[in-house]
């Protein structure tokens, strides 16, 4: 169980870092969304194996699962939602201003023949 989670977290981390390193804004955005999901999964894994445990509600059972990582994840989800919303708006503004969704073109714009670049 723990090994499965560890592998899944590892694969998700790898995928999201790969996406972040790509040049397109959309892929970078998805990379960050995936990254926050994978780190949330990592946090969930710190509460230990849930085998034979019950939901952490008073009266639900004798052996509840550790609820604290779930509380942390809830906070982290809210924060990453806010940051993702901000990132979307920023990328949209950069797209409007620079007319590109490619990080390479953004910082090293291709040489234009017509000279209306600032």
Partner 1 sequence: MNEPIYFVAAPMLIAIISLFWREPSTTRRLFGVLSAAFITLGALYFVITLSLNEQRLILNVGDWKAPLGITLVLDPLAAIMLFLSGFSALASLLYSMFELPTRSEHPLRQPLLFFLLTGINLSFVTGDLFNLFVAFEIMLISSYALLTLEANDWDIKQSFPYLTINLLGSTLFLAACGLAYSIYGSLNFAHMASQTTALAGDSRLLVLATLLMCVFSIKAGIFPFYYWLPNSYPILPTPLAAFFAGMLTKVGIYVLFRLFTTVLPHDLTSLHTLLAWLAGATMIFGVLGAVSRNFIRGILSFHILSQIGYMALAIAFFTPLSLAACVFYIIHHIIVKATLFLVGGTVSSLNGTDDLSRTGGLWKVAPILGLCFLLQALSLAGIPPLSGFWGKYLIFVEGIRLHDYLLVAAALLAGILTLYSMLKIWLGAFWSPLPDSGELHLHETRWKPLTAVVAAMTIVSLAIGLGAEHVYRISAVASRMALDQSGYVAAVMAALGKGGF
Residues at the site binding partner 1, with contacts judged by CB under 8 A: 20, 28, 32, 35-36, 39-40, 42-43, 45-46, 68-69, 72, 75-76, 79, 82-83, 86-87, 90-91, 93-94, 97-98, 103, 106-107, 118
Question: Which is closer to partner 1, CB of 15 or CB of 103?
Answer: 103
Question: Which is closer to partner 1, CB of 107 or CB of 112?
Answer: 107
Nearest approach, Cβ of residue 80 and partner 1 (Å) = 8
Residue 70 and residue 56 in contact, taking contact as beta carbons nearer than 8 Å = yes
Q: At what angle do helices 2-21 and 25-45 cross, to 10 degrees?
A: 160
Q: DSSP readout, 29-98?
A: HHHHHHHHHHHHHHHHHTT---TT-B-SSTTS-SSBPP-HHHHHHHHHHHHHHHHHHHHHHHHHHHHHHH
Nearest approach, Cβ of residue 73 and partner 1 (Å) = 9
Question: Which is closer to partner 1, CB of 60 or CB of 79?
Answer: 79
Which DSSP helix (H) or strand (E) runs through 101?
A: none
Nearest approach, Cβ of residue 106 and partner 1 (Å) = 5
């Amino acid at each position: 169980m723990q090994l499965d989670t560890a592998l899944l977290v590892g694969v998700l981390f790898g995928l999201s870092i790969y996406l972040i390193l790509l040049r397109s804004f959309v892929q970078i955005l998805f990379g960050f969304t995936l990254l926050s999901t994978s780190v949330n999964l990592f946090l969930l894994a710190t509460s230990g194996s849930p085998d034979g445990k019950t939901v952490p509600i008073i009266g639900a059972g004798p052996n509840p699962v550790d609820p604290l990582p779930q509380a942390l994840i809830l906070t982290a989800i809210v924060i990453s939602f806010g940051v993702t919303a901000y990132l979307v708006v920023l990328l949209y503004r950069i797209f409007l201003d620079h007319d590109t969704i490619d990080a390479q073109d953004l910082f090293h714009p291709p040489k234009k023949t017509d000279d209306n670049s600032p």
